[in-house]
Amino acid sequence: MSRPLIEITSVAKSFAAGGAGRERTLALDHVSLSIAEGEFVCLLGPSGCGKSTILNLVAGFEAADSGNVRFDGAQVRGPGPERGVVFQQPMLFPWLNVIDNITFGPRLAGVSPDVYGPQAERYLRLVGLQGFGQHAPYQLSGGMRQRVALARAWLPKPKALLMDEPFGALDAQTRLVMQELLTSVWESTGTTLLFVTHDVDEAIALADRVLVMSARPGRICEEWTIPFERPRKLEDIVADPRFGELKRDVLKVVRHEARAAAALETSL
């Protein structure tokens, strides 16, 4: 196994709870996690268990109360171009066309068009949007907008992409297309992926490793190494008997934690 790129060691993170006099919400407690360079890891867990908080800590949007978050051997102290982020909503600028959306970061950083122009074309091609550079976001479907967000995130050649339910708002068919697209771009770039999803099938089909988090305060409570060889074909994987077994095992833990999370909600 290659060296860890993302290393989270015994991290705790709490937030101020709403309302005066209320205690703080402990979102994460004793979370440790190591992700190797080039690995594709999916993170599952009940709503509110701290999945987005983990991504935000690695992205440098939030700081841990205690413990350590390291990226590529260095302490994370804030956001950086080596860590790209993709959210559930593509968050495009509606008044900019596709190319200007994709190249927004490099243009702001003063990178020459001679450099980012060819890169933008390459990533447009990789996400299957060649010829759409001059289109406005409103002219695109939801799946196409999310492709733009992917191209934008990948353009600065990040070492890792942190993806927070990126396909959660897409219909089932578009989601399948996007899963294949993501896998093929990942295979051609080798970027390390930390991918949050609520969809057990998606996690097993995509990941090298699936992690499940417990109800709040979140910890990583179980993990599975996914045995399917690459390149994978989704239709072959779902027909493999190991898929059904894995799905049953993962679902069991996910549902157990979801029930614990629901009990926590109703006891508030």
Ligand X SMILES: Nc1ncnc2c1ncn2[C@@H]1O[C@H](COP(=O)(O)OP(=O)(O)OP(=O)(O)O)[C@@H](O)[C@H]1O
Token pair in block for residue 216: 């709040």
Q: Which is nearer to ligand X, 45 or 90 (CB)?
A: 45
Which of 205, 154, 153 shows the shortest CA–CA distance to 175?
Answer: 205
Q: Using CB under 5 A, which of 52, 101, 119, 197 touches Mg ion? A: 52
Give long-range contacts, CB 8 A cutoff, 24+ apart: 255-258. Answer: 257/45, 257/46, 257/49, 257/212, 257/213, 257/214, 257/215, 257/221, 258/46, 258/47, 258/215
* CA distance linking residue 182 with residue 133, whole number of Å: 20
Backbone angles phi, psi at 118, to 5 degrees: -60, -35
User: 192 with 39: CB under 8 angstroms?
Assistant: yes
Which of 19, 18, 5, 28 shows the shortest CA–CA distance to 220?
Answer: 28
Binding status of residue 56 toward Mg ion by CB under 5 A: no
Q: Which does residue 53 touch among Mg ion, ligand X, none (CB within 5 to 8 A, set by kind)?
A: ligand X
- The distance of closest approach from Cβ of residue 236 to ligand X in the complex, given in angstroms and rounded to an integer, is 30
Q: Which is nearer to ligand X, 7 or 164 (CB)?
A: 164
Q: Which residues bind ligand X (CB under 6 A)?
A: 15, 25, 27, 45, 47-53, 216
Which span (50-58, 98-106, 111-119, 154-162) binds Mg ion, by CB under 5 A?
Answer: 50-58
Binding status of residue 214 toward Mg ion by CB under 5 A: no
The DSSP output letter for 218 is B
- The distance of closest approach from Cβ of residue 47 to Mg ion in the complex, given in angstroms and rounded to an integer, is 7
Q: Which is nearer to ligand X, 53 or 101 (CB)?
A: 53
- The distance of closest approach from Cβ of residue 102 to ligand X in the complex, given in angstroms and rounded to an integer, is 26
Q: Which is nearer to ligand X, 2 or 266 (CB)?
A: 266
- The distance of closest approach from Cβ of residue 215 to ligand X in the complex, given in angstroms and rounded to an integer, is 10
Q: Which is nearer to ligand X, 17 or 109 (CB)?
A: 17
